[in-house]
Amino acid sequence: MPNKMSQEKEALLRALGAEVVRTPDDEPWDSARSHIGVAKRLRQEIRYGVILDQYGNVNNPLAHECTTGPEIIAAVVSTPSTPTKPSSLKVDVFVAGAGTGGTVTGVSRALKKEHNPECIVVGVDPIGSILALPERLNDESPKPYVVEGIGYDFVPQVLSRDPADIDHWVKTDDGDAFQAVQRLMKTEGLLVGGSSGSALSGALAWLKTERGQKVAQTEGLNVVILLADGIRNYMSKEWFLDFALGPGPPRIPQTTSDKGN
């Protein structure tokens, strides 16, 4: 795993009996010393070694198309429309961060194929990553950011950047992401991590666009934001300890030399 990964993730793997190999964060994805390169080497060295390959395994998006998507649809459809809380009984907008891209791709297909072909899917990508389209949204080269779990310096095979699957992209920064995390914790009681903050801040940014404002002003439309992580994996991180235990206003974490994963 990259050095940026939290201690909690490593501790959990070791508790399950895994041997953990840390790899440099500043290695490009196709380097032999990156987490992908080291995994490929270990697969050759370890008898019966297997890489599940979340970046290229078609079962990644398929799992979300067959499970996560239908679960979201069932929850929205089964929530009745009332005079005080009207509902279209459909998922009208879906917002999710893109890491491997399997989640946003698979859920999009589940929503658009039979449930609501007009559903708007918004992908969220941290500034410094190269996943978002069009290309002008991205910087000229990958840059470091603090948020874990979303964004890459290459485009995974399982991520569909076809406009038929992802209608819009939004870029987010660390400051907005962690402010959104604090907001979710304090106002909603949801103990989420940085990628969930990115999803919320990305959704709020998109709702300020021309098309997003039309959605926000239309009564009964349902905007679903996927909060894909929890705080369990980040409780030793400085940004969380400063927020939870600090005597004054929480500081927004500053980007380090680490790359996203």
Confidence of residue 229 (pLDDT cuts 50, 70, 90): very high
Q: Which pLDDT does position 253 carry in this prediction?
A: 66
- In angstroms, the CA 146 to CA 127 distance is 10
Q: Which pLDDT does position 255 carry in this prediction?
A: 58
Question: If you average pLDDT over residues 154-165, what whole number do you get?
Answer: 96
Answer yes or no: is pLDDT of 261 > 60: no
Q: Which pLDDT does position 259 carry in this prediction?
A: 39
- In angstroms, the CA 7 to CA 13 distance is 10
Burial (0-12, 13-18, 19+ Cβ within 10 Å), 132: buried
Share of the chain above pLDDT 90, in %: 76
Answer yes or no: is pLDDT of 220 > 80: yes
- Choose between 25 and 160: higher pLDDT: 160
Question: If you average pLDDT over residues 127-135, what whole number do you get?
Answer: 93
Q: How far apart are the first and last CA of the chain?
A: 9
- Lowest-confidence region among 67-71, 112-116, 233-237: 233-237
Q: Which pLDDT does position 2 carry in this prediction?
A: 64
pLDDT tens digits along 170-203: 999 999 999 999 999 999 999 999 999 999 999 9
Q: Which pLDDT does position 144 carry in this prediction?
A: 85
Three-state SS letters, the chain: CECCCCHHHHHHHHHCCCCCCCECCCCCCCCCCCHHHHHHHHHHHCCCCCCCCCCCCCHHHHHHHHHHHHHHHHHHHCCCCCCCCCCCCCCCEEEEECCCCHHHHHHHHHHHHHHCCCCEEEEEEEECECCCCCHHHCCCCCCCCCCCCCCCCCCCCCCCCCCCCCCEEEEECHHHHHHHHHHHHHHHCCCCCHHHHHHHHHHHHHCCCHHHHHHHCCCCCCEEECCCCCHHHHCCCHHHHHHHHCCCCCCCCCCCCCCCC
Domains defined for the chain, CATH in brackets: 7-45 (no CATH), 59-245 (3.40.50.1100)
Torsion angles phi and psi, residue 177, rounded to 5? -65, -50
Confidence of residue 55 (pLDDT cuts 50, 70, 90): very high
Q: Chain-wide mean pLDDT for the chain?
A: 91
User: 217: Cβ–Cβ under 8 A, 6 or more apart, which residues?
Assistant: none
Note the pTM of the prediction, 2 decimals: 0.88
